[in-house]
Structure 1
Amino acid sequence: MGSAVNQLAGPLLLAVSGLYFLATLALRVFGRRTPPPPQPGLHWLPSIGVDLLLIGVLQALQTSGSVNFTPLFGLPLLLASVLGTLTLALGTAACATLVLLGWAIASGGADSAQMYLQAALTGTGYFVVAYLAHLLAARLISEQKMARRSQVDAHTQRAVSALVMQHVADGVLVLDTEGQVRLANPAALLLLGPHAEGGVPFALGHHGAWAPLLALARETFALQVPQMVDVEILHDGLAPMALRVRSWPTHTRAAALSPDEEPLCVMFLHDLREMEARLRTEKLAAMGRMSAAVAHEIRNPLAAISQANELLAEDLSDPSHQRLTTMVRQNAERLVRITEEVLDIARVQHRPLHAPPALVALDDAVRHIWADWQAHDRPRRQGQLKLEAGSAQVEFDTEHLRRVLVNLLDNALRYMGPHADSLCVSTRITPSGRCGLQIWSDGAPLDQSVERHLFEPFFSSESRSSGLGLYICRELCQRHGAAISYQRASRSLPRGEVPGNAFTVLFRGGSQPGSTPSLFDTIGH
């Protein structure tokens, strides 16, 4: 550098400069990768101390007309102001000022007063620079901490929002002004149907079934106020999906967006069938509270009818009249059983613990129930019966087992195909040692929104169905410690591998009651 300004440096000056370079290189290689603690201490000597010492030596070796090394004191000064405390910064400024004053005293000469004044002014500038640089560094560090904290909060909020959206029951859509879906949770994709299986992003205008949602989004953007409307999503080959949709704009007339923000619309999709099922469940609970009084009113007339029928049977000798009284007695007893079952289901009560378990031979009971069910409409009620449980007995009331099996058979009859093997009733012992009953039919797959509420009361995909059949099956199974489940499964038949719907009942008992139940060997997913 001396050659560049036409000034030659002495060997001592070059030696000090080389020593300064080596000290810097050693600190870079052997020093810590993180800054030292900000408090004043000996740990600053390898950096700030060496800088002040060597720059002071360079300043002492400075000759008249040579390069002025005074600005180099700004390096340790800025280092102390940015990385250290205010005390360290002011101490570094004081040290640099003392070095300058010592150099002025040592130089002496005719212009010593001017050198003193220059050193004092330079030292004052060092103190001002140290103070201002430290304040600026502290402000930047504070802003950096706030930005880092805001970033962590944003990541946390994003993770929480994603978790809530993934598990919320309602469907959630986030749309832009062009009708493009920016964000959608699994519940929303399920409600929108198979055309949304590709995931986001997708446009609502690409499919005609989503036209009501697109129209509502445009209206929300135009009016800039929340909207709520009931719509129907009509997919080809599927039942209409009734939805209650609530939409909110991210910008309103009261709170406008800033220029760098994009207007969005947030939609919440709620399945009206689920809402209706919840209302029906609440009605069922209210019916349960009334059932005691109703049962009392029903039992009294039934008791009077049964007693009168028994008295009448004693005076009748005609065989045809006796058959009539027998029919009256049997149907009265059946009404009593039905009343008790409805009461038990409404109260959702298990059998008392002190009641002895009712044992029934599974294969024999299923064979008789199957024969009785077929006898009502034999040409239509065709199917396969495979009984492989042997002489195994299960803890289940015979009439309750009849109710469960008949409900499942009636349900399968509505959806199975016309083939002779479209329906199959089978029993066997599972590998875990539990007895199992399965009703399989080759019906069409259930909609996922229907499958989620399959065993809920009053929930049905058909308007003519009460929605109580599968609910009663579940409650009766739970009363006897059994478990009922639904699977989409395939069965190997002479006409090939046929997919279908399987309802499996696993009864209580077995060598490993706590193990996970397995499907029958004839079923493959």
Structure 2
Amino acid sequence: MRRPARAGEPRPVATAPPCDANRVTGEGKMLQSRQGQTARHLHLSRTLATRAAPSVTPSDLAWRVIGLLSLYRLLVPLLLLAMQSLAGPDWGLLAARPKLFVSACIAYFTAAVLLVIARRLKWSSLRIVALVNASVDAIAVGLILYASGGIASGLGILLMLPVFALTMLADRRDALLIAAVAALGVLAQQVFTGLAGATPAADYTTAGFVGALVFVVALATWPVANRLRESEALVRRQEIDLANMAQLSQYIVQHLRESILVVDAQDRIRLINESAAQILGDENAYPDALIGEVSPRLLFLLESWRQGSGGNEALPAVDPTFVAADGGRVMRAHFAPLGSSSPAPVLIFLEDTGLIAEQVQQSKLAALGRLSASIAHEIRNPVGAMSHAGQLLAESPHLTEEERRLTQIIRTNADRVSGIIDNVQRLSRRERARLELLSLPAWTEEFHAEFCETMQWPRARLMVSGTPSDVEVRVDPDQLRQIV
């Protein structure tokens, strides 16, 4: 049976366990920004969930109570009619007004059926539902009491359960109003009974006692019902928070560069991101799939980790690698338990060994760059001293032409070494290239002469050919020299 719409009730966003925070550090500022935005949306939805819940809403508990009360209304008149048919007209309850008694039971049953049908309507307020039900119970039970001869029949007890149930759905003011309607029905039928014939004075006292008992039931029930409503509202808000946290976890896991999946104690995949699905095979890797069907090797590694490592992440006795579904990558599996239960769900990280080797190579290159920069810095001072000594030697008036040529070689190569040192240090600092427009033939001839002079080769030993005379390039001269 379809339930009415629940006014004011927030709807959680539907859709997995949190991941290891230490492995997320490489995701960068963009992912952190997205996480911050999602967290802000979570905070907003949590605030809205807290503020949107009114004091009384047609919740699941309320409709369950109304459903049980409807069943009670259907059973009471049927039981009374069954007792009437079994006991016959001499039954004490029928001695006063037997036809009215039967008619009142039929009317009560009909009203109960109509209230069950009315549950399909979109009730805007639970207060209206409670007051309508209370009015129907007060009128129907009042008619049954009147038909059975008044309060002395003992059927006034039929009002206690409806008052108890409807008070659970109302606030304090409406709880008193429901009790007042029920008490008014009891007193009204007693007045009409007295007008119809002589009744003992004690019946009025009994009617007043029943009316007072109705108020006692309402006042005693309301605090308990209020705590139940608060507990239900708290559970509802927690469900919204959990749903949003699950969505946030799913968002974070799906945007991680690392390949992650969660396997439960029955070796079924509970969570897997797109990267891990590509490694294990998109067609087979999906939630609720058995990990053994997706990757038998990964299942073997998981069982070895569970049995032999005692919960440690390392696999000392087994090579924790397997081949990806595409056959071109070798993956390394890392395991981490989730929770303290045994067996516990397991978080599995899949690392590409090729990427690991590449990272190691990059680290080596970075260290080599720092070492080169350090060596270049140490060489700068001796080269500067040699260049300065060559300049002082060139100022001597007693040098021969051959000696002056040698001092020129010293100065040229010292300048070249200084340029190399500057380039190495600039590369270690990752400075931008200084682009210049160069005539490639002229630069080539200059480099050819300098190189042959440095190597003390005859110029005929190194030939330059195939260079057009009108080629110009925009390049850093120092970097071009290093390349050549």
Query: Which category describes the TM-score, using the shorter chain as reference length?
Result: 0.5 to 0.7
- How many Å apart are 1:182 and its aligned residue? 4.4
Matches within 5 A, 1:3-82: 5=84, 9=99, 17=107, 28=118, 33-36=123-126, 47=132, 50-51=135-136, 54-55=139-140, 58-59=143-144, 61-62=146-147, 64=149, 70=156, 73=159, 77-78=163-164, 80-82=166-168
Aligned to 1:337: 419
TM-score by length of 2: 0.53
- How many Å apart are 1:392 and its aligned residue? 8.7
Q: Within 2, Cα distance between the matches of 1:219 and 1:29?
A: 56
2:241 to 145, 153, 156: 153
Q: Within 1, Cα distance between the matches of 2:290 and 2:415?
A: 61
| AA at the equivalent of 2:427 | I
Across the aligned residues of Structure 1 and Structure 2, the Cα RMSD in angstroms comes to 5.7
1:264 matched to 2:370? The reply is no
Aligned to 1:165: 253
- How many Å apart are 1:336 and its aligned residue? 2.6
1:215 matched to 2:296? The reply is no
| AA at the equivalent of 1:162 | Q
Q: Within 2, Cα distance between the matches of 1:358 and 1:327?
A: 27
- How many Å apart are 1:344 and its aligned residue? 0.9
- How many Å apart are 1:327 and its aligned residue? 7.5
- Structure 1 pair 234–53 and aligned structure 2 pair: CA distance change class (3 A): closer
Matches within 5 A, 1:369-384: none
Aligned to 2:430: 348
- Structure 1 pair 304–250 and aligned structure 2 pair: CA distance change class (3 A): same
| AA at the equivalent of 2:230 | S
Contact preservation (8 Å) 1:181, 1:202: yes
- How many Å apart are 1:302 and its aligned residue? 5.6
Q: Within 2, Cα distance between the matches of 1:309 and 1:217?
A: 78
RCO comparison, higher one (Cα < 8 Å, 6+):
2
Aligned to 1:250: 338
Matches within 5 A, 1:117-128: 118-120=206-208, 122-123=210-211, 125-128=213-216
- How many Å apart are 1:84 and its aligned residue? 0.9
Aligned to 2:436: 359
TM-score by length of 1: 0.50
Contact preservation (8 Å) 2:171, 2:226: no
Aligned to 2:12: none
Contact preservation (8 Å) 1:247, 1:267: yes
Aligned residue for 2:124, secondary structure, equals coil
Aligned to 1:490: none
Unaligned runs of 5+ in 2: 1-77, 90-97, 449-467
1:297 matched to 2:381? The reply is yes
- How many Å apart are 1:36 and its aligned residue? 4.2
Q: Within 2, Cα distance between the matches of 1:169 and 1:399?
A: 38
Aligned residue for 2:147, secondary structure, equals coil
| Percentage of pairs with the same residue | 18
1:100 matched to 2:186? The reply is yes
1:86 matched to 2:168? The reply is no
Aligned residue for 1:226, secondary structure, equals coil
Aligned to 1:504: none
Q: Within 2, Cα distance between the matches of 1:134 and 1:30?
A: 27
Q: Which has the higher strand share?
A: 1
Contact preservation (8 Å) 1:172, 1:269: yes
Contact preservation (8 Å) 1:309, 1:328: no
- Structure 1 pair 224–298 and aligned structure 2 pair: CA distance change class (3 A): same
Q: Within 1, Cα distance between the matches of 2:294 and 2:122?
A: 60
For residues 401-420 of structure 1, the C-alpha deviation after alignment (integer angstroms, 9 at most, x for no partner) is 565xx59xxxxxxxxxxxxx
- Structure 1 pair 337–143 and aligned structure 2 pair: CA distance change class (3 A): same
- How many Å apart are 1:146 and its aligned residue? 3.0
Q: Size of the alignment, in residue pairs?
A: 359
Q: Within 2, Cα distance between the matches of 1:131 and 1:195?
A: 63
- How many Å apart are 1:346 and its aligned residue? 1.6
